[in-house]
Amino acid sequence: MARAEAVEPRFQPGDRVAVRIAYPPGHVRTPYYVRGKAGVVERLCGVYGNPEELAYARPGLPRQPLYRVRFRQGDVWPDYGGRAGDTIDIEIFQHWLEPSP
Amino acid sequence: MTADHHDDDHGHSHEHESAHRHPPRADLDDTLTYYRAMEIALRELLIDKGVFTADDVRKQVEDMDRRNPAQGARVVAKAWVDPEYRKLLLHDGGEACVVAGLDRGPYKLVVVENTPDTYNVIVCTLCSCYPRWLLGLPPDWYKSRAYRSRVVREPRAVLREFGTEIPDDVAVRVHDSTADMRYLVLPQRPAGTEGWSEDRLAGLVSRDAMIGVSLPRRP
Amino acid sequence: MADHDASIDPRRAHHDMGGLPAGRVEAGEHDYALWEKRVDAMLILLSSRGLMTVDELRRNIEALGPDAYDRMTYYERWMHSVAQTMIQRGVVSLDELGRKIAEVEGRADGSR
């Protein structure tokens, strides 16, 4: 089956996004702690080979847009003990992101 | 800070069996563990097969040995004295490295700037991603279970363990280096350094300040 | 503690530790041994020759399982992973690697 070389970016800086809730049993680069959480796109980093494919010695296609997404720490940890303005920025591939209200 | 030399992935301390998990001894390279034997065996097989030469390995080791935090300190000091360079560094870290006479590096460099109301700290929770071409190899603690687990969850407490206290009115911004970016913190320039040369300023910039767990040294 | 259940969630891989409770950060470090630098060098040389990726390195480390992951040092995990990748890719066979390791261990004069 022919695969597209790269996926078009669908999000822009400022967009509110949520991380998909899924637990694939293998190599992923979306940390467990952020799945299901919502944040804001800080930037599009570029389009890169998919690590979930590269890890299995495959070409990493289709290449996926990679974003830095900024989360409020209070939204990530239910009992976060820092300040309201504290944030965490994480690089997340587009196929893990959905638009969030 | 403790003088512990563990490559510590445990949340608790206990007796370690293997000699190589303790502070380096003169005979460290003479202890033929299973993995040391594997390294020799695989290297020799790959050389025999023509994948690379012994010289290639030696040169790569030497290249990594040459890399140390002084390179990162140079771009920080340059940004402190030159506002246009600072803008370039924040916009296109790789290009800024090239302008400073350094390697662009194999990854895109994202430089995050400390300001009076924002303080940045870097981690790779999933493994140990680090801007090696600018800072050399990462310290053991950066790769440890304790740091990787806790700094995303309780950054202020972890910073406190490094002796760094962040006031309530300053936001702490953690960066988890999960994919193709690599990060460098651009610390705030210490007060009392007016008129200093780039070289002199670079001497204030520690590796830990560029990871974000410490402030730069004071004059 | 709320995290207690999360720490035994089978859906959380062992290396994916962000947010788990842990002890104090022990801010020490060690000088890298030559063999460790050589493992590092091999990874860089192999990936520049298209024979391995950092993604395979990570995946093979992650596949170690909790006990091995915790017990092994950083570069032991890398060494395991580079070897596994070379076998998976067919660059070396498991048999020849095993024979070579035995030969290395058997060298009475310690040449390496």
Q: Do B172 and A90 touch (CB under 8 A)?
A: no
* Residue ranges covered by each domain of chain A: 16-99
Peptide bond into A62 cis (omega under 30): yes
Residue B28 in this model has a pLDDT that exceeds 90: no
The per-residue pLDDT for C112 is 59
How far apart, in whole angstroms, are the C-alpha atoms of residue A16 and residue A7? 20
Q: What is the CATH number of the domain that holds C72?
A: 1.10.472.20
pLDDT tens digits along B124-150: 999 999 999 999 999 999 999 999 999
Residue pointed to by tokens 């030497």: B62
Q: Does one domain contain both B61 and B158? A: no
Q: Does one domain contain both B84 and B180? A: yes
Active site residues of B: 124, 127-129
pLDDT tens digits along A30-78: 999 999 999 999 999 999 999 999 999 999 999 999 999 999 999 999 9
Kindly report the nearest CA distance between residue C79 and chain B, in angstroms.
Answer: 7
Residue B216 located in a structural domain: no
Q: Is the ipTM, as predicted for this complex, more than 0.90?
A: yes
Residue C35 in this model has a pLDDT that exceeds 70: yes
CATH number of A16-99: 2.30.30.50
| Domain extent for B90 | 70-211
How far apart, in whole angstroms, are the C-alpha atoms of residue C4 and residue A23? 19
Q: Does one domain contain both B149 and B48? A: no
Chain C positions touching A64 (Cβ under 8 A) are: none
User: How many domains does chain B divide into?
Assistant: 2
**DSSP per position, A10-50:** ---TT-EEEE-----SS---S-GGGTT-EEEEEEEEEEE--
Kindly report the nearest CA distance between residue A53 and chain C, in angstroms.
Answer: 9
Q: Does one domain contain both B52 and B100? A: no
Residue C7 located in a structural domain: no
Residue B50: both structure tokens together: 């023509």
pTM: predicted TM-score of the whole model, two decimal places: 0.91
**C-alpha B64, offset from chain centre:** 13
pLDDT tens digits along B75-129: 999 999 999 999 999 999 999 999 999 999 999 999 999 999 999 999 999 999 9
Q: Does one domain contain both B151 and B47? A: no
Q: Does one domain contain both B48 and B91? A: no
Which B residues in the span 126-165 are in contact with C, Cβ-Cβ below 8 Å? 126-128, 137, 139-141, 143-153, 158, 161-162
Q: Do B176 and A31 touch (CB under 8 A)?
A: yes
Mutate to test the interface with C, among A21, A30, A33 (most CBs of C within 10 A): A33
Reduced to 3 states, what is the DSSP secondary structure of residue C71?
Answer: helix
| Residue C73 touches chain B, beta carbons under 8 Å | yes
pLDDT tens digits along B149-199: 999 999 999 999 999 999 999 999 999 999 999 999 999 999 999 999 999
Residue A82 in this model has a pLDDT that exceeds 50: yes
Residue B202: both structure tokens together: 């670079």
Which C residues in the span 87-106 are in contact with B, Cβ-Cβ below 8 Å? 91-92, 96-97, 100-101, 103-105
Q: pLDDT confidence of A19, banded at 50, 70, 90?
A: very high
- Tell me what the mean pLDDT of segment C15-32 comes to: 94
How far apart, in whole angstroms, are the C-alpha atoms of residue C58 and residue C71? 17
- Strands of A87-93's sheet in order across: A97-99, A16-19, A38-48, A64-72, A87-93, B171-176, B118-123
Q: Do A55 and C89 touch (CB under 8 A)?
A: no
Helix ranges (DSSP H) in C8-93: 34-48, 54-62, 66-71, 74-89
Q: Do C75 and B147 touch (CB under 8 A)?
A: no
Residue B15 located in a structural domain: no
**Where among B43, B66, B89 does a domain terminate?**
B66
Q: Does one domain contain both B203 and B143? A: yes
Q: Does one domain contain both B188 and B94? A: yes
Residue C30 located in a structural domain: no
Residue B19 in this model has a pLDDT that exceeds 80: no
**Closest-CA residue to A39 (of A89, A82, A96, A95):** A89
Residue B23 located in a structural domain: no
User: Which residue on chain C is closest to A80 by alpha carbon?
Assistant: C19
Q: pLDDT confidence of C1, banded at 50, 70, 90?
A: very low
Residue A23: both structure tokens together: 């637990």
Q: What are phi and psi of C87, to 5 degrees?
A: -70, -45
